[in-house]
């Protein structure tokens, strides 16, 4: 049966590591507060010459190389981002050009931190209907340029990065179910209020260092703890599986406490849940593909395994999907490093 599966992955993070102690130099905060409230130790900030497009090109290139897919073979490109280089053109067109992809089609999906899972489900539809054989799905965010050191409860949480997967028509593996959600009643809870057509930037905004990201942390926390476990449970109910079949949960990396809460509610043990929020903070739409790519690199999931991906974010939105990895996958980086004979075949 024709299904849509992950056949390659890759990620890119900027070189610059920003520790909690560094943030404490320009904000009234502390390593202790940030770690205990969020589990974050450090995050990456993009260099001046980096943009959402350049980071996307890098992670996309790595995913294509991992899948051994030539750029010419990509039928469709999807880039999930809420921090694109420009309001228009879509960053997907910049990435299509940067990667040398055919002019088949490319689109940007702006669905906050949930964007990558929405994009994955979109790719599935194109593949299962036979419209596409190969879709490159990227999630990238450069949020650091929107952080205000006057808004400490938001500024300490975010970081920059990019993750990508190649989705292809395969005979094994496949996406078993999904849940997509949106509740605009919570729209004000995560917002960049200026810079769009509702509130174009004025001199007063510039003097105030806007646009900046604003978040009602407490409300989002309550929403997240409610929705994460629920979305996975609903996706499982729509799939042939139960929670016992999940080999690895890859959740949106917003806050270790939120992830732990969801894992406990679902009855999952620590080794069934992937976390890298301590090293990257919340990278919004990049968070799930960055975590997924690191998990696959580390061999935390094997061919044929069943994964649950789940995310929540601006909108407010949420999404979950239950998927099986195909029976054949590229060798994880961890194994490649141990076997020099295959090292270097995939970046």
Residues that bind ligand UT7 (CB under 6 A): 29, 33, 37-38, 113, 152-153, 156, 190, 215, 217-218, 220-221, 224, 254-255, 258, 282, 284, 313
CA distance 105 to 134: 12
In the bound complex, what is the minimum distance in angstroms from residue 97's beta carbon to ligand UT7?
Answer: 29
Closest to ligand UT7 by CB, 31 or 85: 31
Strands (E), 133-282: 134-141, 161-170, 174-182, 190-191, 214-215, 248-251
The answer to whether 99 and 69 have CB atoms below 8 angstroms apart is no
Closest to ligand UT7 by CB, 311 or 325: 311
Closest to ligand UT7 by CB, 38 or 162: 38
Residue with tokens 């809420």: 82
| Catalytic status, residue 11 | no
Our CA angle for 36, 38, 41, nearest 5°, is: 80
Catalytic residue among 11, 178, 189, 252: 252
Catalytic residue among 113, 178, 189, 276: 113
Closest to ligand UT7 by CB, 69 or 266: 266
Six token digits for residue 6: 């992950």
| Closest C-alpha among 240, 249, 224 to residue 114 | 224
Six token digits for residue 284: 């919004």
| Catalytic status, residue 132 | no
Q: Which residue is nearest to ligand UT7 (CB)?
A: 217
CA distance 310 to 319: 6
Closest to ligand UT7 by CB, 8 or 112: 112
Query: What is the maximum alpha-carbon separation in the chain?
Result: 60
Six token digits for residue 136: 């490159």
Sequence-distant (6+) residues with CB within 8 A of 64 are: 8, 10, 70, 71, 74, 99, 136, 166
| Catalytic status, residue 113 | yes
The set of catalytic residues is 113, 252, 282
């Amino acid at each position: 049966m024709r299904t849509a599966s992950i056949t390659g992955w890759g990620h890119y993070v900027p070189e610059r590591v920003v520790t909690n102690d560094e943030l404490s130099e320009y904000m009234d905060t502390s390593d202790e507060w940030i770690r205990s409230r969020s589990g974050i130790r450090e995050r990456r900030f993009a260099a001046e010459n980096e943009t959402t497009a350049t980071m996307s090109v890098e992670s996309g290139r790595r995913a294509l190389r991992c899948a051994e897919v030539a750029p010419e073979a990509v039928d469709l490109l999807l880039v999930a981002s809420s921090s694109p280089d420009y309001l228009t053109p879509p960053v997907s067109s910049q990435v299509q050009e940067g990667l040398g992809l055919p002019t088949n089609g490319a689109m940007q999906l702006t669905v906050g931190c949930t964007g990558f899972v929405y994009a994955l489900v979109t790719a599935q539809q194109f593949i299962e209907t036979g419209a596409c054989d190969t879709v490159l799905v990227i999630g990238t965010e450069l949020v650091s340029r929107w952080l205000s050191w006057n808004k400490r409860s938001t500024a300490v949480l975010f970081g920059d990065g990019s993750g990508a997967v190649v989705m292809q028509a395969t005979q094994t593996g496949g996406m078993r179910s999904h849940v997509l959600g949106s509740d605009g009643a919570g729209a004000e809870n995560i917002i960049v209020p200026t810079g769009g057509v509702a509130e174009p930037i004025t001199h007063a905004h510039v003097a105030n260092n806007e646009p900046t990201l604003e978040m009602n942390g407490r409300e989002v926390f309550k929403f997240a703890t409610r929705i994460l476990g629920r979305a996975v449970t609903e996706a499982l109910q729509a799939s042939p599986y139960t929670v016992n079949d999940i080999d690895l949960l890859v959740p949106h990396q917003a806050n270790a406490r939120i992830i732990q809460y969801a894992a406990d509610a679902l009855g999952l043990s620590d080794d069934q849940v992937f976390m890298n929020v301590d090293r990257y903070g919340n990278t919004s739409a990049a968070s799930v593909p960055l975590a997924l790519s690191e998990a696959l690199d580390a061999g935390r999931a094997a061919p044929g395994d069943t994964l649950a991906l789940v995310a929540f974010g601006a909108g407010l939105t949420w999404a979950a999907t239950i998927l099986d990895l195909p029976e054949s996958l590229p060798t994880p980086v961890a194994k490649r490093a141990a076997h020099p004979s295959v090292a270097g075949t995939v970046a």
